[in-house]
Amino acid sequence: MIIGLHADMQLSSAALTTAPAVRKRSNEVESAQVSDAMEVAQLSSLAAVDSHAGSCEAEMPSRLLNDAVRSLPYHVVKDLLSIGVCSRCVLRILGTEDHIYCHSSFSQSMLCSVLEEVTGFKSEGDFRFCSVCLGILQLSYRDDKEALVKMESPNDMALVIAELVKKEGHQIDGFSLEVSIPQFILENESSLLSGMKKRYESEPWFQERLLSKCVSVKDVLKFAITKPLETLLDTKASASSFRIRLAYTHKMAFGNSVERNQGFKRRKIGTENGLQNVNDESVVANKDCSDYPTNETIAVTGRSSLKVPIDKVSEPCHLVYLCYRTHIYLCGRYLKYSRNVSQTRWIIDEERMGEASVEIQNARQVPSEETVKEIESKINGLENKLVGVKNLQVVGSQGWTLMREGEAEKQKQYCALVWISRPLEDEDVCSISLLNDMQILQKTPIRVLHRRSPLERKKIIHWMKIERIAESSQYFLLHLCTQAGTYIKEFVHGDFGRTQPSIGSILGCRAEILQLDVTDVKMDSF
């Protein structure tokens, strides 16, 4: 502490100034010692005050929690605790001010103790999973090995997540926290709130507290672990490409979903068609109490009991932690030097076709401009020379959007080696060169019908020209520019009449394509 350091400095100074006095005037020693003792006492007192101030600051959340709990309707708190609702769910459902229950240092046992001490309710002693959140806000879950995990505070969960991020070696300058929970939890909460409306709506506190300030389960969890995560990861939560996802599932949700959805998903509320689907997780925090459907499994007997659909939860949710990065977009030109390299993974009957493909998934690092240049150099320096790239750069998701939007307008140029069943004539060369911006109609080729929808597509052949091959009358090179997405092979041979017109139909003979290369791609967006 600063005060403590200041005290040490003053004591050292006092010792230096009094030592000569002791040697010269022994009768002043006692006085000096008394003076020093008084100074030490004063400094100690100041240090104690400062320490007390720090302690008070640390105790502030606890004091706010006590004040918040004391403002709650005690009988309602007791009712909720008695049916297995956890402390955090009690506080959020009753709209506790300032979301104090989201504080990252509060353990479930601490929250429970405060509620019990203030309200006088005594639990059975045995740990119970919450009948509403199914243990999520109790920080209890089954992990990927089906082992039961119980954490004390949100700080503990944040530590586990941070260690996972660091272990996987992700480079991050921000993170986006995502939480998914079973729909079953929302149904539980909806039923509970409907029961509370029936039981307590005539009481003064009801309209002030219930629903309007109720925060959803997943938002409470996000509030509780975001701050400690920011500290541990030394970065801020933001709309980042790096995502941390907490995926909760529960076996009970699968078993009861069909039965429970009957009478829950739809309810007459006076809309135009008389029905409204209720399936949004945010509905809990935003809808008025009257908008909640009443599940038939809830029971409210007179004014003496309050029940939720599940009396006792024996198993918590299953939790999977996921850390991943959304797509990183690299823009540039690439050249394929082999016809056996596909643009994407090409798998037929579970067998991979082609030598390789271009692909990057779940990148651990965001490449800098310098790194991208190194990548470009390494690719171009490979011995096998399957592909080459140039003008490589990182672009945002808008780059992908521009490319997709420009696909219909972009033009591709090809060079095809063609054989025809008769000798090529000068008239053929002339007639082909005169066909500009010719529209063709193509049905999905037979060769791709197993993986493409059977559709008819209109495409444009912008221009064509024939290059003769010396000492060959039936072979020639066809240079052409077409709209992207044109099936060139089918345009040459006609695909049994599925492409009209075709080179074969134009020349009035059989035509076959032997080789095909892309020579250029023209795209205004890039």
- What integer pLDDT is reported at residue 95 of this predicted model? 82
pLDDT tens digit string along 465-510? 999 999 899 999 999 999 988 999 999 999 999 999 999 999 999 9
Average pLDDT over residues 508-522: 92
- What integer pLDDT is reported at residue 260 of this predicted model? 42
Cα dist from 304 to 39, 124, 226, 299, 301, whole Å: 66, 20, 40, 11, 6
Question: Is 244 within the bounds of a domain?
Answer: yes
Question: Is 121 within the bounds of a domain?
Answer: yes
Residues 320 and 202 in one domain: yes
- CA-CA distance, 370 to 362, in Å (whole number)? 20
Question: Is 219 within the bounds of a domain?
Answer: yes
Among the residue ranges 6-15, 227-236, 337-346, 401-410, the one predicted with the least confidence is 6-15
Residues 334 and 452 in one domain: no
Cα dist from 318 to 76, 87, 260, 309, whole Å: 30, 21, 20, 20
Q: What percent of the chain has pLDDT over 70?
A: 71
- CA-CA distance, 137 to 222, in Å (whole number)? 10
Please name the residue that has the structure tokens 């050249």.
Answer: 335
Question: Is 481 within the bounds of a domain?
Answer: yes
Residue 339: pLDDT band (50, 70, 90) is confident
Three-class SS of residue 370? helix
Q: And the tokens for 188?
A: 């539980």
Tell how far CA 312 is from the center of its chain: 32
Question: Is 95 within the bounds of a domain?
Answer: yes
pLDDT tens digit string along 343-399? 666 666 777 666 565 576 777 878 888 989 998 999 899 888 888 888 888 887 777
DSSP 455-483: -EEEEEEEEEEEEE-TT-SSEEEEEEEEE
Q: And the tokens for 152?
A: 């004390």
Tell me the sheet residues that pair with 244. Answer: 177, 323
- What integer pLDDT is reported at residue 279 of this predicted model? 35
- What integer pLDDT is reported at residue 418 of this predicted model? 97
Residue 424: pLDDT band (50, 70, 90) is very high
- What integer pLDDT is reported at residue 60 of this predicted model? 67
pLDDT tens digit string along 136-175? 999 999 998 999 999 999 999 999 999 999 898 888 888 9
Residues 383 and 463 in one domain: no
24 burial level (CB within 10 Å; 0-12, 13-18, 19+): exposed
Tell me the three-class secondary structure of 68-132, residue by residue: HHHCCCHHHHHHHHHCCCCHHHHHHHCCCHHHHHHCCCCCHHHHHHHHHHHHCCCCCCCCCECCC
Cα dist from 211 to 74, 103, 218, 292, whole Å: 18, 21, 16, 10
- What integer pLDDT is reported at residue 345 of this predicted model? 66
Average pLDDT over residues 10-29: 35
pLDDT tens digit string along 40-52? 344 343 333 333 3
Among the residue ranges 38-42, 175-179, 417-421, 429-433, the one predicted with the least confidence is 38-42
Residues 215 and 316 in one domain: yes
Please name the residue that has the structure tokens 């493909």.
Answer: 357
Question: Is 480 within the bounds of a domain?
Answer: yes
- CA-CA distance, 356 to 346, in Å (whole number)? 9
* Amino acid, single-letter form, for residue 57: E
- What integer pLDDT is reported at residue 524 of this predicted model? 65
Question: Is 67 within the bounds of a domain?
Answer: yes
The total number of structural domains in the chain stands at 3
Sign of CA dihedral 140, 141, 143, 149: positive
- CA-CA distance, 91 to 98, in Å (whole number)? 11
Residues 240 and 104 in one domain: yes
Residues 80 and 168 in one domain: yes
Helix H segments across 178-235? 183-200, 204-209, 217-233
Helices (H) and strands (E) in the chain, counts: 16, 19
Sign of CA dihedral 116, 120, 122, 128: negative
- CA-CA distance, 252 to 187, in Å (whole number)? 12
Please name the residue that has the structure tokens 């005050």.
Answer: 49
- CA-CA distance, 478 to 465, in Å (whole number)? 6
Residues 214 and 117 in one domain: yes
Residues 95 and 201 in one domain: yes
Neighbour order of strands in the sheet with 499-500 = 499-500, 438-443, 456-468, 475-483, 411-420, 511-522
Residues 248 and 374 in one domain: no
Identify whether the C-beta of residue 493 lies closer than 8 Å to the C-beta of residue 507.
no
pLDDT tens digit string along 444-467? 999 989 888 999 999 999 999 999
Q: Which domain holds residue 367?
A: 328-344+363-395
pLDDT tens digit string along 246-283? 999 988 765 544 444 443 333 333 333 322 333 333 33
- Average predicted confidence (pLDDT) for the chain: 76
Residue 192: pLDDT band (50, 70, 90) is confident
pLDDT tens digit string along 298-336? 333 344 456 555 557 888 999 999 988 888 888 888 888
Please name the residue that has the structure tokens 């939860």.
Answer: 313
pLDDT tens digit string along 26-84? 444 344 444 444 443 443 433 333 333 334 444 667 788 888 888 888 888 888 888 88
- CA-CA distance, 513 to 486, in Å (whole number)? 15
Three-class SS of residue 405? helix
Give the closest residue to 388 by CA, choosing from 401, 375, 398.
375
Three-class SS of residue 408? coil
Average pLDDT over residues 83-98: 86
Q: What percent of the chain has pLDDT over 90?
A: 33
Residues 417 and 312 in one domain: no
Question: Is 162 within the bounds of a domain?
Answer: yes
Residue 244: pLDDT band (50, 70, 90) is very high
Residues 421 and 510 in one domain: yes
Report the CATH number at residue 429. Answer: 3.30.70.3190
The length of the chain in residues reads: 526
Residues 476 and 432 in one domain: yes
